[in-house]
Amino acid sequence: MRNEVEVSTAADSSHTIDPNTPPHPRAAAPQDPLVVYFSSISGNTAKFVAKLGFPTVRIPLRTGEDTPIMDRPFVLCVPTYGRPRSGETIPPQVMKFLREPRNRELMLGVMGAGNTNFGEDFGIAADKIAAKCQVPVLYKFELMGTSEDVTRVHEGLTAFWTRNCPPLPA
């Protein structure tokens, strides 16, 4: 993907986004929002984040692969998997990524992909991560999202990023 960002790895070391969400006490970051995401073989989440046009980092598909260690603020985009009532909704690859303290420290918010067939459990993985990591849920979309979702997220994430990550001084 042309917008993929190089990062180190452990081995090396539906609502709209509200731009008025209170700022998270994190360090300043480069101009463009960074989206870290996990996508299964279906590729739905990957297709959605590719349409946003922001730099991205993909969490590896296989749990045996090294997990990225982030060095700048980011927003996480994660699908809900499994059986929501069983509590198994967050992909194990995402759990591994979040076990890295630096990754939790730099996460500014989370977006959730899911299926509205889950009813009130739609996008519950994002809700659980947000609660555990004390960051806002910025947006939820179904499957690979609609063109309206892409527009809302692009505009909302740009505003959120501008407010929470002012440009670094030159």
Say how many Å lie between the first and final Cα of the chain, rounded. 28
pLDDT of residue 123: 87
Q: From CA 28, how far away is CA 49, in angstroms rounded?
A: 22
Q: Within the chain, what is the greatest distance between any pair of CA atoms?
A: 50
pLDDT of residue 143: 87
Cβ atoms of 71 and 59 closer than 8 Å: no
Closest CA to 126 of 79, 94, 56, 166: 79
What is the CATH architecture of 8-17+30-163? 3-Layer(aba) Sandwich (3.40)
pLDDT of residue 153: 94
What's the pTM? 0.80
- pLDDT higher than threshold 90 for residue 156: yes
Q: List the domain boundaries for the chain.
A: 8-17+30-163
What is the gyration radius of the CA atoms in the chain, in angstroms? 15
| Average pLDDT of every residue of the chain | 81
- DSSP state, residue 108: E
Query: For 1-5, 60-64, 143-147, 166-170, which range has the lowest pLDDT when averaged over its residues?
Result: 1-5
pLDDT of residue 1: 37
Cβ atoms of 75 and 159 closer than 8 Å: no
Distances (CA, A) of 11 to 18, 24, 36, 159: 36, 29, 18, 34
pLDDT digits (tens, 9 = 90+) for 77-103: 999 876 656 667 898 999 999 999 999
